[in-house]
A and B are shown apart, each in its own frame.
Chain A
Amino acid sequence: MMVPQVAQAHGSIEGAGDFYGGLLHPFLAPPELLAIIASGLLIGRSGLAACRYAIPTLACAVGAGLVLGWSAILAVEMTTPLALAAFVAAVFVTTGLRAPSPAAVAIALVAGLAVGFDAAPETGARMSALVGGAATVLASAALVTITAALALRAEKHWQRVAAQIAGSWITASAVLYLAFRFAPHR
């Protein structure tokens, strides 16, 4: 009471505050979650060299996307780009093909930008946006790193199959969303 703060209704997630709201955002927004996990699986299955470049690329792209999204005048729906990024990455994973490092980096760049733009804080306060945005970058980087590490270490047959099944599920989800998005109105 002696040092009152600005009375904000909620952060990006009600009751979570700026930091935790930003941290949770990639986990609670299915399109972002799919894009990050699909990218992580692709990066991991593409080898260590791809991991070295693609993971930092994705993290930086999320940051850039957050800045662009926060400063953008118009809100842009990013679910379709997220679904497309997830679809492309997941197709590689499902087929078991190793993507060349440049391709993995390119997909990580697109996915990261889309995630960042989609997760851009809605608050006008710079400090709140900075805290929330930093948390989102942290969460995205952690999630893609963990997923890529698991995919990279998938040496046994059943582990590779599990990665392909995950890729299949993400591909199917993306196909369904894109069909819904572009289907004529029912």
Chain B
Amino acid sequence: MASMKNGAAAASICMIAMCFANSALAHAGADHGGGGFASGFTHPLLGPDHVIAMVAVGLWGVFLGAPAIWVLPIVFPLVMALGGAFGMIGVPIRGVEVGIAMSAVILGMCVTLALKPPLWMAAIVVGVFAIFHGYAHGAEMPIASDAASYALGFVIATGLLHLCGIAFGSLARWPVGKLAVRAAGLLIAVAGGFYLSGLA
């Protein structure tokens, strides 16, 4: 039990550190100084709107409980990859940045309100937002890049953000932890609101 608490605390610190590690740029643009694993890995981390939404998916998965808590980390990367493919191919999808900001707002509110819809509904909500996030990553992939390494890098980074969210969300088993998790959801929703309004 003590080791689980320590693990959850460490993961929470890691998540918080990642949230505030870099300057607040929604997207750093297409040029990340070339491709490769490092470039792909840092791409989701350099966009705070990506970070908070991915963490929110993990947090919400904890509230939804089994089987959502493990279905979401399995399904989300796949749907995100589909979105990424759309971005690379150039499928016209409008309002990607709005969709990304909305994902933070809605997922944050779901966590704040501890909503527990049916699994299929949660999957649709998360899936739609996964398309937007994947699209942004795919469209911004450097042209002259090691594509396989870049793809692996940003899939892993996204997955780790989910796991950070799940780890932090595991604090919800305690009353104080539950408050902390719901407060985090509120912060995420507010941050999403700032991005949506253009203030960030």
Contact = CB atoms under 8 A, between A and B. Distances in A.
Nearest to B77: A172
Interface stretch (B14-22, B57-65, B82-90, B105-113): B82-90
Contacts, number: 86
A30 B82 contact: no
User: SS class of chain B's interface: helix, strand, loop or mixed?
Assistant: helix
B128 interface: no
Interface in A1-36: 30-31, 34
Most buried by B among A82, A161, A172, A183: A172
A155 to B, nearest CB: 16
A161 B149 CA distance: 24
Interface string B146-162: 11111110011001000
B77 A168 contact: yes
A109 to B, nearest CB: 21
Contacts of A177: 147-148, 151
Contact count band on B:
20 to 34
A176 B74 contact: no
Given A165-B73, A176-B155, A179-B88, A171 B81 contact: yes
A134 interface: no
Nearest to A164: B74
Contact of A176 (B70, B81, B146): B81
B148 A173 contact: yes
Nearest to B89: A183
Contact of A180 (B75, B147, B156, B159): B147
Nearest to B154: A176
B166 to A, nearest CB: 11
A158 B67 CA distance: 11
A79 interface: yes
A124 B138 CA distance: 39
Interface of A: 30-31, 34, 79, 82-83, 94, 158, 161, 164-165, 168-169, 171-177, 179-181, 183-184, 186
12 contacts: A79-B148, A82-B148, A158-B70, A168-B77, A172-B77, A173-B81, A173-B155, A174-B151, A176-B85, A179-B138, A180-B88, A183-B90
Interface of B: 37, 70, 73-75, 77-78, 80-82, 84-85, 88-90, 138, 141, 143, 146-152, 155-156, 159
